[in-house]
Every structure is written in structure tokens, then in C-alpha cells.
A = this chain, B = another copy of it.
């Protein structure tokens, strides 16, 4: 019997208004994470590129949701990365490398013509299977 879906909430990720969408749903060992964004602007990020800063913040949100779901980043099987300027893709790669280890998720990355707000340059969604990442060595 399919388990009921559970809504996963992290205190570190803003919840959408009721009647909109869920940031994260867990169904058995499956975890779905909605496209996350971070509307950071030049003035918010100092000397870093905006794309890198947005992607890092997005991966922090995804990490918080994965943790709230009982999992870890390396349980993620698939990412879709939508960005508004694909020439900045190396900035996304740089952020991604800080959050995964071993065999990275599968991924598609495409340039879209706009995201929900003009300040958003990156949106990242994720699929995960809890327990599928390499077992963590216990000290």
C-alpha cells in the first residue's frame, strides 16, 4: 500500500502561502522538492557572483528540506536547474560542488526566458530516494 504523502517543513525555508504548493513532500522513501529560488541581488552578495550566491542559498534550502525529510544531499537522484543566463553555468557548478560528494545527481540545465521574479536567476528542483546515498561513516 502506498504511504500517505507527508508535507516536510524546514524552519529555515519560507513556506508558501496555503493553497499554493508544498516546498517538499515525502512519500515513503521518495522526496520531491519544489523549484527553489533566492532573489539575492548584487548589493546582497558583495564580491561573489549573483548566480553563485543564489545557487548556494538554494542548495542550503534544499539541504534543510532534505534533512527535515530524514535524508541527506547525497540521497538526491535528479536535479533540474533552470537559469536565466546559461553563460553563468560555471557559477552554478561551483556552488553544486560544495553540497554533493561521490556520484553526483543526474541533472538537466537549461536557460529559460524568465523566472517568477526578475531578481531570480536560478531555480533548482530535486528528486531524492531516502537512503540511496552512500552510507555515512559513523566516527
Contacts and interface: CB of A to CB of B under 8 A. Distances in A.
Contacts of A19: 93, 97, 100, 104
B82 A108 contact: yes
Interface residues of A, number: 56
How many monomers of this protein are in the complex? 3
Interface string A1-28: 1111101000000000001111111011
Interface in A84-139: 86, 89, 93, 96-97, 100, 103-116, 123, 125, 127, 129-135
A82 B110 contact: yes
B115 A27 contact: no
Nearest to A1: B131
Contacts of A107: 21, 34-35
A7 B103 contact: yes
Contact of A112 (B24, B25, B110): B110
B25 A106 contact: yes
